[in-house]
Amino acid sequence: MLPFKADPMHSDDIQLRTMKEFFSRQFFRPLGLALFLLLFSSAALAESAGKDAIFLRVGSGGGQEYTIKVQGAPSASGFLVDLASLARALRLGSVFDGRRMQIDEAFGSSVTSCILDAGSDFAVIGSAAGDTPKRVVQLAAAPVILQNRLSMPVEQACRMLTLWLGRPVRYDATESRIDASLGNRAPDASLQAVGKLDSDTPPDAVQPKPSQSSGSSAGDSTSAQPVSGKTVIDDIQVETRANGIVMRFAATGGMRRASFLRPDGSGNLYLTIENATGNPARLTKNFEGGVVRSITPSLLDGGAMQFTIALNAPAYRIKSSSFRYDPLKNDYVISIMNDVDVEAIHLSEKERRIQERLSRDVDKWKLDAVVIDAGHGGKDPGAIGTRGTREKDVVLNVAQDLGMFIRQRWPDVRVIYTRKDDTFIPLKERGQIANRYGGKLFVSIHCNSTAGNSRVRGPEVYILGPHKTDASLKVAMFENSVITEEENAAESYKGFSDEYLIMSSMAQSAFATQSTEMAQDVLRGLGRSGSNNGLGVRQAGFMVLWTPSMPSILVETGYLSNPVEESILRDRKDQTSIAYSIFQGLQLYRASYESRMTASARTSD
């Protein structure tokens, strides 16, 4: 509520009183008194002749009174009084924002306010202290805006003031004058009684009308007649205007009492409609830009429906908000006026663009498909251990177990196998399978072997690149030797040499860092006690890593040429354990990779 501030006495009042005192002192004779009455009557007639004002005679008790002019305008239905002018004449404070007026009075120990809206058939009255409930006064005629001033029929303005102030304010049509007594409040008048119509109220004023009220800072409410059955909120329409928005809550059924709370510190405002229902899922609204962020409905235990409207307060400075009921459309209407914070709008737009880019590009960098390549197969057994353990059998089991862990732990990731059974797949085709199905990682699984050295043991992980040691070269040559089993091998792998390998490595430079990081994470998970092969990520010219267009590694799970390692590699439980160790390494890589890609996408904007 606004603090009460009495305005100084109107200049016309001062002039008339000064004239009266002058003639009373200096010419208190019959001739002087007659002259004063003639001058006063002429002035009054001159004032009323313009038809843009009427007089207000105010008695304040103790025999004191004053007369003052109140602005207004004639209309077909009678005189429309300027409410701001009438408030000043009664020594009441008022503010008007172009649509809404708040009038404050402080005749007693507390301050009360009356709020009126242009076009609304109701006035809302309450105390600034909040120690009494708000009351709604139904008007026979709604206030209108004339020449940027809020006006209403003088008879209705007087009736409203009488109900609110608890003091008689009446309009004498024969004299074109308002008479007001601002002495003590009537004994039976209180805010508790506001809204109850007097017995002499015209019949057309007591007919129930749909509420269009807009309340005080605490909120607004409508007053409705009871209707049977629940009202259903069918739809919500948000209309964007040049200086704000209008939200319409379309209803089926009778009008219900509703309360409206203006934005709180978090920028949320609330509309609660009693004895109402609706489909919360269908009525939920989310907006990417503009004044309103979201509208979230909820059904309350008492049978009411509440809507929480979240505003984009950082970007938009909210000037005012109001609520009314539209009886023609059966809509509950919230209007919000705002100023735009251009800098905040730009920031919000930037955040929106970043989010759009993240959503648009997510398929390009999100790890959503892993290609698992079980080495060798079919007519190519791979390495063979001293106990006859075949590499192709070991790695197929490990590959299938790895795929199982990925499907269980990463339900959003597709698993693509280059082979699911004992089938021979050419090396070049394995990479093509990975590319064809949109793989994001390529993991080729193998077992190692060294002729004439049964003591070497332990896992190794390789990436594509020129070999740096003779040991790496020998491993690559063994794994690549399978091409002799392929048809048209000479033509398919024509020109594959160290020079061509360097060119291929350069072409895949975009994946070199990711491949190395993935290899390190997998090798860390695979580390076993007793390894003596010099742990570390290695690089060599593996042809199976030649064609995949994605981060790629080749895992040597252990040495079949070592009797101890062969026992581990042929054991089914140990095979599953090896697969889980590889998965743990991939899990480390995925967490680091996706976090890094998300941060990169944000900072690039």
CB 79 within 8 A of CB 153: yes
The reply to whether 389 and 534 lie within a common domain is: yes
The pLDDT of residue 166 is 81
Domain containing residue 329: CATH number: 2.60.40.3500
Q: Where is the domain boundary, 299, 323, 341?
A: 341
- 359 or 158: which leads in pLDDT: 158
CB atoms within 10 A of CB 281: 7
Indicate whether 369 pLDDT > 90: yes
Question: What is the span of the domain harbouring residue 401?
Answer: 368-602
The reply to whether 464 and 320 lie within a common domain is: no
Tell me the angle at which helices 11-26 and 30-49 cross, rounded to the nearest 10 degrees: 160
CA angle (222 as vertex; 221, 227 as ends), nearest 5: 140
Residue 516 CA to residue 518 CA, distance in Å, equals 5
- 301 or 192: which leads in pLDDT: 301
Reduce the DSSP state of residue 123 to 3 states and report it. Answer: strand
How confident is residue 55, by pLDDT bands cut at 50, 70 and 90?
Answer: very high
The reply to whether 108 and 37 lie within a common domain is: yes
The pLDDT of residue 233 is 95
CB 373 within 8 A of CB 439: no
With respect to residue 210, please indicate whether it lies within any of the assigned structural domains: no
The pLDDT of residue 565 is 93
The reply to whether 594 and 474 lie within a common domain is: yes
pLDDT in tens, 412-428: 999 999 999 999 988 77
Q: What is the mean pLDDT of residues 330-339?
A: 87
Q: What is the mean pLDDT of residues 141-164?
A: 90
The reply to whether 290 and 373 lie within a common domain is: no
With respect to residue 347, please indicate whether it lies within any of the assigned structural domains: no
How confident is residue 530, by pLDDT bands cut at 50, 70 and 90?
Answer: low
Indicate whether 188 pLDDT > 60: no
The reply to whether 317 and 448 lie within a common domain is: no
The pLDDT of residue 310 is 92
pLDDT in tens, 440-450: 898 999 999 98
CA torsion angle 17 19 21 22 (round to 10)? 160
With respect to residue 349, please indicate whether it lies within any of the assigned structural domains: no
Q: Are strands 537-540 and 78-82 parallel, antiparallel or unpaired?
A: unpaired
With respect to residue 208, please indicate whether it lies within any of the assigned structural domains: no
CA angle (215 as vertex; 334, 333 as ends), nearest 5: 15
> What element of type H or E holds 295?
strand 292-299
Q: Which residues pair with 335 in a beta bridge?
A: 246, 322
Q: Which of 109, 111, 89, 108 is nearest to 216 (CA)?
A: 111
Least confident of 254-263, 321-330, 494-503: 494-503
The reply to whether 156 and 47 lie within a common domain is: yes
Q: Which of 131-140, 224-233, 352-361 shows the highest mean pLDDT?
A: 131-140
With respect to residue 348, please indicate whether it lies within any of the assigned structural domains: no
Indicate whether 363 pLDDT > 70: no
Q: What is the mean pLDDT of residues 362-383?
A: 85
The reply to whether 63 and 163 lie within a common domain is: yes
With respect to residue 354, please indicate whether it lies within any of the assigned structural domains: no
Question: Residues 431-464, buried b or exposed e (16+ Cβ, 10 A)?
Answer: bebbeeeebbbbbbbbbbbbeeebebbbbbbbbb
The reply to whether 126 and 81 lie within a common domain is: yes
Q: What is the DSSP string of 469-524?
A: SHHHHHHHHHHHGGGGGSTTHHHHTTT-SHHHHHHHHHHTHHHHHHHHHHHHHHHH
CB 212 within 8 A of CB 119: yes
The pLDDT of residue 220 is 55
The reply to whether 386 and 331 lie within a common domain is: no
pLDDT in tens, 508-528: 455 777 888 898 999 888 876
Domain containing residue 538: CATH number: 3.40.630.40
Look over the chain and give the mean of its residue pLDDT values, rounded to a whole number.
75
The pLDDT of residue 49 is 37
Domain containing residue 126: CATH number: 3.30.457.10
What are the structure tokens assigned to 537, written together?
Answer: 């990520």
How far, in whole angstroms, is CA 544 from its chain's centroid? 49
With respect to residue 448, please indicate whether it lies within any of the assigned structural domains: yes
Indicate whether 561 pLDDT > 80: yes
CB 386 within 8 A of CB 448: no
How confident is residue 41, by pLDDT bands cut at 50, 70 and 90?
Answer: very low
Domains: count for the chain: 3
Indicate whether 205 pLDDT > 60: no
DSSP 543: G
The pLDDT of residue 80 is 94
The pLDDT of residue 543 is 55
The reply to whether 456 and 589 lie within a common domain is: yes
Whether pTM exceeds 0.85: no
- 530 or 78: which leads in pLDDT: 78
With respect to residue 184, please indicate whether it lies within any of the assigned structural domains: yes
The reply to whether 253 and 104 lie within a common domain is: no
Q: Which of 325-329, 362-366, 427-431 shows the highest mean pLDDT?
A: 325-329
Q: Which of 187-196, 212-221, 374-383 shows the highest mean pLDDT?
A: 374-383
Residue 318 CA to residue 340 CA, distance in Å, equals 9
